[in-house]
Amino acid sequence: MAINWFKKIVKDYPKFWETYLSCFNENQSKEQRYVVFDCETTGLDYKSDRILSIGAVGIQNNQIIVGDFMEVFLQQDVFNPETVTLHGILREGKEEKVVEAEAIIRFLDFIKNATLVGHHVDFDIEMINQALDRLDVGKLQNQAMDTDVMYQKLKYLPQEQQSSLDELCDIYKIKKSDRHTASGDAFITALLFLKLKRKLEI
Amino acid sequence: MKNPIAERITDFLKHYPPFSSLPYESLLEIAKTCQVIYLEKNQTLFKINDATHSFFYVVASGAVGLSVTSDSDDVLIDKCDEGDILGLRPFFAKNNYLMTAKAREESIIYAIPIETFKPYVAANPDVLSFLLESFASNTRNPYDKSHKGKLISENVIYNDQSSEIQYYQPIKYTSNPITASPNDIVKFVAQTMSSSKIGSMIIHENRKPIGIVTDKDLRSKIATGLYSIDVTIDKIMSSPVITVADNLSIAEAQIIMLKNNVSHLCVTKDGSTDSEITGIITEHDIVVAQANNPGVLLKQSKRAQRSSDLKEVREKLADLIQHSLDKNVPINHIGSIVGEINLAITKRAIELAIEKIGTPPPAQFAWINIGSQGRKEQLLLTDQDNAIIFEDVPEDNYDTVKKYFLELAEKATKTLNKVGYDFCPNEMMASNSLWCKSISDWQNQFKGWIINPADKNVLQNTIFFDYDFVYGNESLVDTITKTIHEEINDNQLFFAYLGADALKNPPPLGFFRQFLVESDGEHKDTFDLKGRALMPLIDAARILSLSKGIKNTANTISRYAKLAELEPQNAPVYEACADAFAELLKFRTEEGLKNESDGRYLNLSELSKLDKVKLKNDFQPINDIQEVIKNKFQLTYFT
């Protein structure tokens, strides 16, 4: 049970959060699962900007499981017209949209205790954590791996030297056909992750 | 839920068989269940004897090699590129994989669960037959013949397909044949037949066949006096005519002819005698269709009317080469057959060019092939090298005559290019005004090369010493030969130049008997078979046979044979060179056929150990022959 002994009151968390937390108590007998995900956002400020869409896909046994997939588009209260040109998600787009809470619940239900993978994943995790905060629950508990950090390790690059997803795609000859949709980026990142994972012999 | 990743995979799959015959929605369902695998170079997907996976695979990018093990060497059987499927075994058989699949470069693979795919296979006969054929032939392309003979020890369903498949191919026949009506007069029908050079004519009524007249009818009924030449054709026609539908295979056509004891079949719209005539099949069509026969190819090239006809001959020739190699016909025999057919193709291309110009050549001329074509060593489609020699003409006529021959060469080389012989990158072709000139100019040209080898760049033009008469007046070529042999007699400087050139490529083995491979450029780490092994032998044969006054022999193996005759003391070296050359040429040809390239660069990692040993043994004679040249022309002083 996830009980914080230092908190005076044991908070009564909503059901979805309990379910999420309970995932981490299961014995990890199964094959390690990774979830590669990407958030499209209204901007790069995690305080004021909001998530537009989340795309995520599962990896198990070094294989991208195409059926193990989620994609969700969020209804927007905060809307930044400047970034529309970049990601192409309009406030009144065609996609079915859900409220932020619903999106986050679906996301938690999808990732369970998987190791999260992303390119510059800290930002995406922080965006999710901000949303979780608005739901008044804790932060993500999952382990996380960053494809850029993996690349730095592989090439012995200093931490400051960051590479964009585009750059790495060019280096590893991954077709960038669906860049800048959440699920497209997730898939590309997944391919990149498989390559780097193999090279680092993780 | 929408799944853009699955859509992306669907968009890829739909371009490739068998997926292309499935509807988009089904593909999307399949794509949703598949998995994406990344393979590093040399990573294996499955190994021989592995239990079969519950997936089969499609290469999304990169390349995967399929290999079997024989004598502890991996023998590459097939290479799967983008869109190719592999690992079909679990569909049809319960036992383990019989091949190893290994990534030959970084690859992304889509794994499709067999369980999801099975219902689609059952419901869709196109998909089933594609998979069955792929599986049966055990290569992804069911009609790929190049792997014949390598799978015998593998108990996969294997059969010698090439001859049979050809046998079951639809036959090509004459469509819209010339016909006559029943009340036409025999005499006029016979006149039409001879002017159109045909041996039979179908007699029709309202476009429906009612009979046929053949040479035989004319012979047995008219020439014998049974009927007069003025009767109507229906008196002598054979009736009824045997009719067949379109799309008959060669085998069927032959059987129907045998059954009915006829030599002609009439093709009609629905195959009955009561429908419109669309074509005629003759025995000749059947012979032509069973084409891998040098005689037929020769005949076919002589009859060719267009460059596309010649192209067809050249394509069938490739099959013939492959077939002969598989049957272990000595390479020299293959070479001479192929040489003859190449020759026939070139001749026909020249004739067609003359026909096209419309006026006969204004002077006697000779077309010669030079270089590898001249040596008749051109098994693969390499480039064309040729030249024209025309007789001396009055000076004021020279320009017009030359213009005619340049135009002729332009047209002929273009035709040859369409057939598949690339243009010579160095423009060593008769269409280049440098290499289309009168006999005196040619004599001066050769004299220049021989007397002043340094100034006249003889080294870039040694291929002109390997020539073969193709078309026209052969005595012009004999004159050239005579000039060359007069001029080179005891010309030490010329031989010194040529000799030094022949030695510029030492035997291609390093100090530890390892192969010398290309160290840079696009062919890095491959072995330059032409430059490092074939050329030294060719160059050596040329200089030695020139010095011995051997005439009218450009072929390298024949040159060595002649040399062995003339110089018994060195015969073992020459014979070894001939053998080595034949072996190396075979390597090149096989490599070229396998990769549809000119076979110049060998990928050593794909060679079996036995092949490597063979190859190395072929290099020893290069060393020996170069020693002979060094001593003979005293090049040790010169170089």
Output the pLDDT for position B457: 73
Q: Of A150-164, B80-94, B463-477, B518-532, which range is least confident?
A: B518-532
B41 touches chain A (CB under 8 A): no
CA gap B306, B293 in Å, rounded: 21
Sort out which chain B residues have CB atoms less than 8 A from A194's CB and list them.
36-38
* pLDDT interval class at A34 (50, 70, 90): very high
* pLDDT interval class at B315 (50, 70, 90): confident
Output the pLDDT for position A103: 92
Hey, which residues 42-81 in chain B have their CB within 8 Å of chain A?
A: 43, 61
Burial class (CB in 10 A: 0-12, 13-18, 19+), B253: buried
Q: What average pLDDT does the segment B139-150 reach?
A: 40
Partner-chain residue, chosen from A67, A183, A191, that has the shortest CB–CB distance to B38 = A191
Nearest to B60 by CA among A196, A62, A174, A55: A174
Secondary structure in 3-state letters for B439-499: HHHHHHHHHHHHHCCCCCCHHHHHHHHCEEEEEECHHHHHHHHHHHHHHHCCCHHHHHHHH
Return the residue matching tokens 């529309």.
A84
Q: With a cut of 70, say whether residue B71 has pLDDT above it.
A: no
* pLDDT interval class at B143 (50, 70, 90): very low
Sort out which chain A residues have CB atoms less than 8 A from B38's CB and list them.
62, 191, 194-195, 198
Mutate to test the interface with A, among B1, B2, B36, B41 (most CBs of A within 10 A): B36
CB contact under 8 A, A184 and B8: yes
Secondary structure in 3-state letters for chain A: CCCCCCCCCCCCCCHHHHHHHHHCCCCCCCCCEEEEEEEEECCCCCCCCCEEEEEEEEEECCEEEEEEEEEEEECCCCCCHHHHHHHCCCCCCCCCEECHHHHHHHHHHHHCCCEEEECCHHHHHHHHHHHHHHCCCCCCCCCEEEHHHHHHHHHCCCCCCCCCHHHHHHHCCCCCCCCCCHHHHHHHHHHHHHHHHHHHCC
Output the pLDDT for position B605: 76
Sort out which chain A residues have CB atoms less than 8 A from B3's CB and list them.
66-67, 69, 71, 183
CB B431 within 8 A of CB B413: yes
Q: What is the pLDDT of residues B208-222, one digit of tens each?
A: 999 999 888 889 888
A177 touches chain B (CB under 8 A): yes
Q: With a cut of 50, say whether residue B141 has pLDDT above it.
A: no
Å from A126 to nearest chain B CA?
25
Q: Of B141-145, B257-261, B514-518, which range is least confident?
A: B141-145
Mean pLDDT score of chain B: 81
Give me the amino acid identity at B268.
T
Q: With a cut of 50, say whether residue A202 has pLDDT above it.
A: yes
Partner-chain residue, chosen from A62, A173, A178, that has the shortest CB–CB distance to B4 = A178
A92: Cβ contacts below 8 Å, ≥ 6 apart: none
Q: What is the pLDDT of residues B406-443, one digit of tens each?
A: 999 999 999 998 888 888 888 888 898 889 999 999 99
Return the residue matching tokens 């031989």.
B495
CB B212 within 8 A of CB B237: yes
Q: What is the pLDDT of residues B575-625, one digit of tens each?
A: 999 988 988 888 888 888 877 777 788 877 777 777 877 788 888 888 888
Query: Which tokens belong to A157?
Result: 């690059």
Q: What average pLDDT does the segment B132-160 reach?
A: 42
Q: With a cut of 90, say whether residue B4 has pLDDT above it.
A: no
CATH number for the domain formed by residue range(s) A32-200: 3.30.420.10
CB B388 within 8 A of CB B409: yes
Return the residue matching tokens 């054979």.
B238
Nearest CA in chain A to B39: A195
Output the pLDDT for position B408: 92
Q: With a cut of 50, say whether residue B164 has pLDDT above it.
A: no
Output the pLDDT for position B168: 57
Nearest CA in chain A to B36: A64
Sort out which chain A residues have CB atoms less than 8 A from B61's CB and list them.
173, 175
Q: What is the pLDDT of residues B37-54, one digit of tens each?
A: 988 888 888 888 788 888
* pLDDT interval class at B154 (50, 70, 90): very low
Q: With a cut of 50, say whether residue B147 has pLDDT above it.
A: no
CB B582 within 8 A of CB B557: yes
Q: Of A52-66, A100-114, B491-505, which range is least confident?
A: B491-505
Output the pLDDT for position B163: 43
B472: Cβ contacts below 8 Å, ≥ 6 apart: B361, B364, B365, B366, B367
Å from B603 to nearest chain A CA?
24
Hey, which residues 95-114 in chain B have their CB within 8 Å of chain A?
A: 106, 108, 111
CA gap B501, B635 in Å, rounded: 10
Residue extents of the structural domains in chain A? 32-200
Mutate to test the interface with B, among A31, A59, A62, A63 (most CBs of B within 10 A): A63
Output the pLDDT for position A145: 93
Hey, which residues 509-538 in chain B have their CB within 8 Å of chain A?
A: none
A21 touches chain B (CB under 8 A): no
Mean pLDDT score of chain A: 84
B228-232: long-range contacts at Cβ-Cβ below 8 A with a sequence spacing of 24 or more? B229/B186, B229/B187, B229/B190, B230/B185, B230/B186, B230/B187, B231/B185, B231/B186, B232/B182, B232/B183, B232/B184, B232/B185, B232/B186
Partner-chain residue, chosen from B5, B38, B61, that has the shortest CB–CB distance to A69 = B5
Output the pLDDT for position B99: 80
What DSSP designation does B530 have? Answer: I
Q: What average pLDDT does the segment B242-266 reach?
A: 83
CB contact under 8 A, A190 and B8: no
* pLDDT interval class at B124 (50, 70, 90): confident
Q: With a cut of 70, say whether residue B156 has pLDDT above it.
A: no
Q: What average pLDDT does the segment B273-292 reach?
A: 79
CA gap A113, A132 in Å, rounded: 16
Question: Can you tell me whether residue B44 is helix, strand or coil?
Answer: strand
Q: With a cut of 60, say whether residue B72 has pLDDT above it.
A: no
Sort out which chain B residues have CB atoms less than 8 A from A55's CB and list them.
4
Output the pLDDT for position B389: 93
* pLDDT interval class at B102 (50, 70, 90): confident
Q: With a cut of 70, say whether residue B180 has pLDDT above it.
A: yes
Q: With a cut of 70, say whether residue B635 has pLDDT above it.
A: no
B630: Cβ contacts below 8 Å, ≥ 6 apart: B499, B503, B636
Q: What is the pLDDT of residues A71-110, one digit of tens each?
A: 998 887 655 666 655 555 555 556 678 888 899 999 999 9
* pLDDT interval class at B160 (50, 70, 90): very low
Sort out which chain B residues have CB atoms less than 8 A from A97's CB and list them.
none
CA gap B129, B138 in Å, rounded: 13
Q: With a cut of 90, say whether residue A58 has pLDDT above it.
A: yes
CB contact under 8 A, A199 and B1: no
Output the pLDDT for position A125: 94
The H or E element containing residue B368 is strand B365-370
Output the pLDDT for position B139: 45
Q: pLDDT over 90 for what percent of chain B?
A: 14
Output the pLDDT for position B151: 31
CB contact under 8 A, A63 and B5: no
Output the pLDDT for position B609: 74
B35 touches chain A (CB under 8 A): yes
The H or E element containing residue B57 is strand B55-61
B6-14: long-range contacts at Cβ-Cβ below 8 A with a sequence spacing of 24 or more? B6/A66, B6/A67, B6/A69, B6/B31, B6/B32, B6/B34, B7/B31, B8/A177, B8/A178, B8/A184, B8/A187, B9/A66, B9/B34, B9/B36, B9/B60, B9/B110, B12/B60, B12/B83, B12/B110, B13/B58, B13/B110
CA gap B187, B232 in Å, rounded: 9
Q: Of B169-173, B458-462, B517-521, which range is least confident?
A: B517-521
Q: What is the pLDDT of residues B329-385, one digit of tens each?
A: 777 778 778 888 888 889 999 999 998 888 889 999 999 998 888 888 877 777 888
Sort out which chain A residues have CB atoms less than 8 A from B55's CB and list them.
none
